[in-house]
Amino acid sequence: MFMNIDFVITWVDMDDPKWRADFAAYSGKIDNKKNEVSEARFRDHGFLKYWFRGVENFAPWVRKIHFVTCGQRPEWLNINHPKLNLVNHDDYIPKQFLPNFNSCVLEIYLHKIKGLSEHFVYFNDDCFLIKNATTERFFVDGLPNDIAAFRYNSGIGLWAKTLKNNIRIINKNFDKREVLKRDNDKWYNPIYGSKARLTYLLKWYPKFITLRTPHNAQPYLKSTFEEVWSVAEKELTGMSAHRFRSSEDYTPELFRTWQICQSHFNPYNTYENTKMFPLMIRSKQAIDAIREQSYSLVCLNDNSLIRNYEQTMDAIEAAFASILPYKSDFEL
């Protein structure tokens, strides 16, 4: 089945003077003791060119790349590339909520991007293609590939609390027993392996809990966003006023979970060819995975407490350069 598939990537460079002035006006300063204003959330390592090289080399089938920023653009970017669509925050987010430094707000409005295709894959700027990926990695027969499996959510951290907010909306709109009965083969699919253990253990439990959340590129249907907004406009509009991340936010996982509960997905064990590396504790493994192209996609999760930060970033760049040494057409 032929379909147009777009990529969406959000990016920020905290060294930009205008961004720093706007940030200071609302936050005061970077504070590495607070997750929502940590420098790890906003700093750029110079790896973006390898994201574009990865797309050109490993996913040349992509129709359009929607590059979302607050008006920033790296000086090396070829803005005239026919596949590139530069998207400013004020192109798709209501202006009363800008400037905004909350990635969750930037993400819940993605369906408003002009010209976005029904089928799209959303990337944070720390997620990279490092090996060939066909369209079937993300969509089959018009539906996103995904893993429907529950996971334990302690609810202690900010992110965990926002995931629980998502689930409250899901439980308000879906009956777990009905969904799992209707899609028994999708939820209890052997392809998930041990990742689905909790799904079996909680078969008796009447409510949805947080689903597994692979931190990597995520396929979506634009119509999913439109449908969620039609039932949760009040909640989503309310959180849009949060310029920085808040425990009262909702996240893109709301749309992903809705998609799964609507049966708009194909069973797929995302963990087989994607990997998230917390660089604070697994930087060497991340470097090796890039050099060896061990996965189709990797996520390089930054942290303000990374030891030997500059050396680590230099080693990661060298690993990228070893597999993607040549400029892409997205570079001047």
Phi, psi of 277 (to 5 degrees): -115, 110
- The conformational region for residue 71 under phi > 0 = left, psi -120 to 50 = alpha, else beta, is left
Residue 71 is classified by DSSP as S
- The conformational region for residue 23 under phi > 0 = left, psi -120 to 50 = alpha, else beta, is alpha
**Residues of the chain falling short of pLDDT 70:** 1, 28-44, 303-306
pLDDT for 37: 57
- State both tokens at 163: 């995931």
Which helix (H) or strand (E) is 313 found in, with range? helix 309-323
pLDDT for 177: 96
- The conformational region for residue 256 under phi > 0 = left, psi -120 to 50 = alpha, else beta, is alpha
Nearest to 201 by CA among 155, 167, 161, 151: 151
pLDDT for 24: 84
Amino acid in the structure at residue 82: P
Helix axes 252-261, 222-239, angle to 10 degrees: 140
pLDDT for 301: 81
pLDDT per residue as tens digits for the range 115-127: 999 999 999 999 9
Distance of CA 32 to the CA centre of its chain: 22
Sheet containing strand 139-140, edge to edge, reads: 139-140, 143-146, 266-267
pLDDT for 43: 62
- Please tell me the distance from the alpha carbon of residue 172 to that of residue 258, in angstroms, as a whole number: 11
Biggest alpha carbon–alpha carbon distance for the chain: 57
Give the CA distances from residue 301 to residues 127, 164, 203, 236, 278, in Å, rounded to whole numbers and listed in that order.
9, 22, 32, 26, 5
**173 neighbors 185 (Cβ within 8 angstroms):** no
Give the pairing type, strands 143-146 and 139-140. antiparallel
SS3 129: strand
SS3 98: coil
Phi, psi of 255 (to 5 degrees): -70, -40
Rg (CA), the chain: 19
